[in-house]
Amino acid sequence: SQQGEEDPQALSIQEGENATMNCSYKTSINNLQWYRQNSGRGLVHLILIRSNEREKHSGRLRVTLDTSKKSSSLLITASRAADTASYFCASIQGAQKLVFGQGTRLTINP
């Protein structure tokens, strides 16, 4: 079963707009990670936020973590066509088990 639940399942926006995706999880975490997957390919790591961090930035990406609500959000600013992909949050269960959410399919329209 998937621990993380992404919201929305699909998102379609215009190029240049910001995209926000949310992730909820059920159990305590050590860290939470976000990954991107282009159609049918391997996943690419975007950002890792530790349980004692509340916000983290990487280029056009901003991730927040609220451990009291067991939720995280990924914001992509100034979206580009190349950002079209599926985005997954993943949390660590125990020490060595990464559990993924169902993902958000993001489409950037030119």
Total interface residues for other proteins by CB under 8 A: 25
For other proteins, which stretch binds (CB under 8 A), given 16-24, 58-66, 72-80, 93-101? 93-101
Using DSSP's 3-state secondary structure scheme, residue 8 falls into coil
Select the residue interacting with other proteins from 23, 76, 92, 106 (CB under 8 A). 92
Select the residue interacting with other proteins from 20, 31, 67, 107 (CB under 8 A). 31
DSSP 81: G
C-alpha 97/C-alpha 39 separation (Å) is 24
For other proteins, which stretch binds (CB under 8 A), given 9-17, 56-64, 72-80, 91-99? 91-99
Strands (E), the chain: 5-7, 10-14, 19-24, 31-37, 43-50, 55-58, 61-66, 71-76, 85-93, 97-100, 104-109
By the rule CB under 8 A, 49 interacts with other proteins? no
Residue 65 burial (CB count, 10 A): 22
Select the residue interacting with other proteins from 33, 71, 79, 104 (CB under 8 A). 33
- Contacts to other proteins by CB under 8 A: 2, 30-31, 33, 35, 40-45, 48, 88, 90, 92, 94-103
